[in-house]
Amino acid sequence: MVEHRIHNFNAGPAALPLQVLEEIQANFLNFDHSGMSITEISHRSSYFDKVINDAVERAKRLLKLDDRYHVLFLQGGASLQFAMVPMNFLSMNDSADYVNTGTWAGKAIKEAQILKKNHRVAASSEDKDFSYIPKEIKFSENAKYVHLTSNNTIKGTQYYEFPDTKGIPIVCDMSSDIFSRPLDMEKFGLIYAGAQKNLGPSGTCMVIIRQDMLDMENKDLPTMLKYSTHASKNSMYNTPPCFGIYTIDLVLKWIEEEIGGLEKMEAHNIQKADALYDYMDSGNFYRPTAEKYSRSLMNVTFRLPNEDLEKKFIAQAMEKGLGGLKGHRSVGGCRASIYNATGMESISALVQFMEAFEKENK
Amino acid sequence: MVEHRIHNFNAGPAALPLQVLEEIQANFLNFDHSGMSITEISHRSSYFDKVINDAVERAKRLLKLDDRYHVLFLQGGASLQFAMVPMNFLSMNDSADYVNTGTWAGKAIKEAQILKKNHRVAASSEDKDFSYIPKEIKFSENAKYVHLTSNNTIKGTQYYEFPDTKGIPIVCDMSSDIFSRPLDMEKFGLIYAGAQKNLGPSGTCMVIIRQDMLDMENKDLPTMLKYSTHASKNSMYNTPPCFGIYTIDLVLKWIEEEIGGLEKMEAHNIQKADALYDYMDSGNFYRPTAEKYSRSLMNVTFRLPNEDLEKKFIAQAMEKGLGGLKGHRSVGGCRASIYNATGMESISALVQFMEAFEKENK
């Protein structure tokens, strides 16, 4: 029975800023003096227009998006995007390049296969168990797009710089690091991100799509699976996930107004990750699994000397109010997911616990 | 500035039971003593397992579903189901029968067209502006399924009895009347329902699918667009819309434990609708738009003597705390959506207002 909030290191759904949760709670029975809960308000009302437009504008300001970019709120998570991307952009004679950096990139590739779309794995880090981000990749000159996964939650790797694709638009799964740092948007034709890590509750997927991508979309697709359907209706072709969009708006407001934008957000995130990696590098009890120059600022994956100690570590941490430290079920080990909303106080509490645990179990 | 809750007659997103909203609010910062918000909890945790399993079991108990039926929580709303149904169940030589009872049924038909799947409109009520439900329909003997829309929110019509399809499974869009009454499930191979009317917040779509439908599913589809993907993983192939499922669980609990099941829910709903229709039938100022034996228990659509009076009616009602009475933008007029969560006290308040308005404007 926990009566207080824990330090939440979940990989997703993950921690949200406390002040966002408190605002949702305070207004839950009567949103914006409407006499209704946010969950009861028509998506065609002026109340909701204000919410969705505010979320779009904040996203555009934070990422410095010009008018070519549309910010959409879809459903089905990144997993549906894995299929929508090749469905929309690859016709019979087209091909796309994919970079395979682990499970999620692999799932994106698999959907192109299922759809029988031409594609090529331009680079892979499978040779070293996905512990690094490939460098100096040669892309096909005629690829319609290059698909990347900016941050890999399971293996704890992340692109620090995005490759030069010589003008081929990058389509990027940013589910686990969107809004964690500034981006040079010129490289990206489409970004998608399930909300449940850095943005809000599960069930909403943010898509940022540039007009030239919309222009090359296949036309004969089911209505809900075409990006233009959603872009032309401000994400309200059908009823959107209103509660998710509302929460995302509050999270973006928190990044803008409390944190002070993406440069500051990135500085926070570097400080947090450095505290953990530096501590682990200073000894040899905890061993980060990703290669040094590909280490994720969002998911710090590490091993202890043996699996028994890992189990004990995770269980004792939970007793001390540090939750979610178990590695992904496919790889084992430990993982601290430290997305935007995880504060420095949680990192300090974790490092303190790690020090004590090491001392007792060395 | 409304400081109290209004009588909410929204068509969807729509009113939710106050006690459900209050429970969500009370536990929003610390769900089930986890030290986390329901929006921050891993879908792979025992906390969430309890939620989703409880929701599935309640749905099964309420509808008396046997083990052939799977209860799923998907994303993309009914609009994505319009496409998923023909994608999954129609191969090249198959065909399906559709009944056209208005805008939403028409959208389902349109997706079968876009997908170039054989289909036939077995009956339509377009001849009388969709003001009734077709009777004595002749279905094709070899149809793979018959698609119906059980309740039509825009024109205010509803099936009282479902047609005898001679064993052909009915696929039914029940977005606006699911759990409003008991069902003879034997007729249905698949039911789908966007949550935002009778079930919970927008962004979750409940799908109830029978095993024989899963068995005839096309195999070469994108992973997220196959029903078997979700059925085999208890709706957790990817991260599900956790907050929506949690709310649906609480709404189903309310139906089971507060209302006392679907027979009692139906009796409530009949009582509510009768109060409105009987009052309107007793005079000639308000004119229900649906034919008498097709009138919806969920969406009471009506006209006033002229459009100016309708505008005045809607505006004055809002001033008195009666919201959402405007008809759908495609047809105009007035509409009181009175789903499960709308209490008799809201109906009484509406009838009282209607009486006063009639007296002043006759």
The DSSP secondary structure of A125-179, one letter per residue, reads -GGGTT-S---S----TT-S-EEEESEETTTTEE-SS----TTPPEEEE-TTTTT
Residue A4 pLDDT: 87
Residue B155 pLDDT: 97
pTM: 0.98
Residue B4 pLDDT: 87
Residue A240 pLDDT: 98
Q: Which of residues 272-301 of B touch A (CB under 8 A)?
A: none
| Complex-level ipTM | 0.98
Q: Which of residues 9-38 of B touch A (CB under 8 A)?
A: 10-16, 18, 21-22, 24-25, 28-30, 33-37
In chain A, which residues have pLDDT < 70? 1-3
Tens-place pLDDT, residues A106-148: 999 999 999 999 999 999 999 999 999 999 999 999 999 999 9
Of the pLDDT bands very low, low, confident and very high (cuts 50, 70, 90), residue B2 is: low
d(CA A113, CA B343): 51
Task: Using alpha carbons, list the distances in angstroms from residue A236 to A211, B9, B56.
Answer: 18, 21, 29
Secondary structure of residue A124 in the 3-state scheme:
strand
pLDDT value at B322 more than 80:
yes
Contact B4 A30 (CB under 8 A): yes
The DSSP secondary structure of B275-303, one letter per residue, reads HHHHHHHTSSSSEE-S-GGGB-SSEEEEE
Q: Class for domain B22-258, per CATH? A: alpha beta
Residue A2 pLDDT: 58
Q: What are the residue ranges spanned by the domains of chain B?
A: 22-258, 261-361
Q: Which fold has domain B261-361?
A: Aspartate Aminotransferase, domain 1 (3.90.1150)
Contact A2 B34 (CB under 8 A): yes
Q: Does the annotation mark B116 as catalytic?
A: no
d(CA A97, CA A120): 5
Which percentage of chain B shows pLDDT scores above 90? 98
- Of A129-133, B3-7, B356-360, the range with the lowest mean pLDDT is B3-7
Residue B310 pLDDT: 98
* Nearest-neighbour CA in chain B from A302: distance (Å): 20
Q: What average pLDDT does the segment B132-156 reach?
A: 97
Mean pLDDT of chain B: 97
Residue A348 pLDDT: 98
pLDDT value at B51 more than 90:
yes
Please list every residue in chain B whose beta carbon sits closer than 8 Å to the beta carbon of residue A154. Answer: none
Q: What average pLDDT does the segment B176-185 reach?
A: 97
Tens-place pLDDT, residues A19-71: 999 999 999 999 999 999 999 999 999 999 999 999 999 999 999 999 999 99
Residue A139 pLDDT: 98
Residue A361 pLDDT: 97
